[in-house]
């Protein structure tokens, strides 16, 4: 049974931690809303209107905001997919902020990496438990009691070596959370809205291709406010760093958590319907190996092809 007690989000402490990084930031917690991304996008679009006196609008609509929903009823993933959430069993929030990177490519990978490293600061030779499925999913690696992951083969020309294949090849990677990034123009600036959904406790939801995982498998005492407090600072710092440096400096760290590396995948792209995932490039695009060819995939939907016995 999920905890029905009031949750203490520590909004003031979060604000004190983050406001020096994002001047003008507000931290808001809603008991329920449709979608935190939708709410912040609507605010940003309202701030762009010439009629600033429109009802419900405020000057701060163009300022950074961390919006948390204890219950999100219409959470969205990529391509309009529904994100299942439950009060206390999920962490659902969005962060809006102005960003002006030279290249937006790889932003979802940078966000995923910041969240994974904050919640799972793997060190030494131990393989990380939280991996990343290109382009926007967080995965829990290894079933309880699973053995060590197989070693990764040496990197080929132009590749970045990763010390492990986080997902292994045993099909034990399960979906832990997802990321949805949307942008909107506000005058001469562009606001990014970064939405994150994480499973905290078990939910009666089953993904046919990846299964379901939750953070309390890593730490049974962890709750949604604690998870947010852990990842909020690293997330903001990662976004600000991405604005100046892009994805390239993160490539090796991403490779350590690459949940697709070495796996058979299928895509919706006519020129590359299937292949074996072969890492990402400096812009965050996926490399797909098909026979002797190595193709670059920067858009489209990916799905894991079921292994045959």
Q: What is the pLDDT of residues 188-219, one digit of tens each?
A: 889 999 999 999 998 766 555 678 899 999 99
Q: Which of 103-117, 144-158, 167-181 has the lowest mean pLDDT?
A: 144-158
**H or E stretch at 279:** strand 274-280
Residue 306 pLDDT? 57
Residue 184 is predicted with a pLDDT of: 94
CB-side neighbour CA atoms (13 Å) of 144: 7
Average pLDDT over residues 248-254: 97
Question: Mean pLDDT lowest for which of 92-106, 116-130, 144-158, 260-274?
Answer: 144-158
Residue labelled with tokens 């812009």: 283
pLDDT, position 272: 84
Q: What percent of the chain has pLDDT over 90?
A: 62
All structural domains of the chain: 11-109+172-256 (3.30.930.10), 264-304 (2.30.30)
* Cα(141)–Cα(127) distance, integer angstroms: 9
Mean pLDDT of 227-254: 98
Model confidence pLDDT, tens digit, residues 265-309: 998 888 889 999 999 999 999 999 999 999 999 887 777 775 544
How do strand 75-76 and strand 65-69 relate by DSSP bridges?
unpaired
N- to C-terminal Cα distance for the chain? Answer: 38
CA distances from 91 to 57, 118, 192, 264, 302 (A): 27, 15, 20, 31, 25
- Per the structure block, which two tokens stand in for 132? 């990343």
- Residue 149 phi/psi, 5-degree rounding, is -75, 145
Output DSSP code: residue 149.
P
Q: Which strands make up the sheet holding 274-280, listed edge to edge? A: 293-297, 286-290, 274-280, 264-267, 302-304
Q: Is the pLDDT of residue 169 over 70?
A: no
The tens digit of pLDDT for each residue in 124-149 reads 778 999 999 999 999 999 764 343 33
Better-scored residue on pLDDT, 106 or 163: 106
pTM of the model: 0.85
Mean pLDDT for the stretch of residues 66-72: 95
d(CA 159, CA 71): 42
């Amino acid at each position: 049974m999920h905890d029905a007690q009031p949750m203490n989000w520590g909004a003031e402490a979060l604000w004190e931690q983050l406001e020096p990084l994002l001047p003008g930031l507000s931290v808001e917690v809603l008991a329920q809303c449709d979608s935190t991304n939708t709410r912040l996008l609507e605010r940003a679009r309202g701030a762009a209107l010439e009629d600033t006196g429109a009802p419900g609008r405020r000057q701060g609509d163009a300022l950074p905001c961390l919006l948390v929903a204890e219950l999100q009823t219409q959470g969205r993933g990529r391509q309009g997919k529904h994100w299942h959430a439950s009060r206390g069993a999920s962490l659902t929030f969005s962060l809006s902020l102005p960003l002006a990177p030279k290249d937006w490519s790889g932003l979802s990978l940078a966000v995923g990496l910041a969240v994974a490293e904050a919640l799972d600061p793997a060190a030494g030779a131990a393989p990380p438990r939280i991996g990343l499925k290109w382009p926007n999913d967080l995965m829990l690696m290894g079933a309880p009691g699973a053995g060590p992951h197989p070693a990764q083969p040496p990197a080929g020309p132009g590749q970045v070596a990763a010390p492990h294949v986080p997902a292994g090849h045993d099909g034990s990677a399960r979906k832990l959370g997802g990321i949805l990034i949307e942008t909107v123009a506000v005058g001469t600036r562009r606001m990014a809205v970064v939405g994150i959904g994480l499973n905290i406790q078990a939910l009666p939801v089953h993904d046919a291709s990846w299964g379901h995982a939750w953070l309390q498998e890593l730490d049974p005492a962890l709750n949604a406010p604690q998870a947010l407090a852990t990842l909020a600072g690293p997330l903001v710092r990662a976004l600000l760093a991405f604005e100046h440096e892009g994805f390239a400096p993160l490539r090796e760290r991403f490779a350590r958590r690459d949940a697709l590396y070495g796996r058979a995948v299928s895509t919706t792209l006519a020129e590359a319907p299937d292949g074996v995932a072969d890492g990402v490039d400096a812009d965050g695009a996926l490399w797909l190996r098909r026979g002797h060819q190595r193709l670059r995939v920067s858009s489209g939907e990916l799905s894991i092809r079921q292994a045959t016995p």
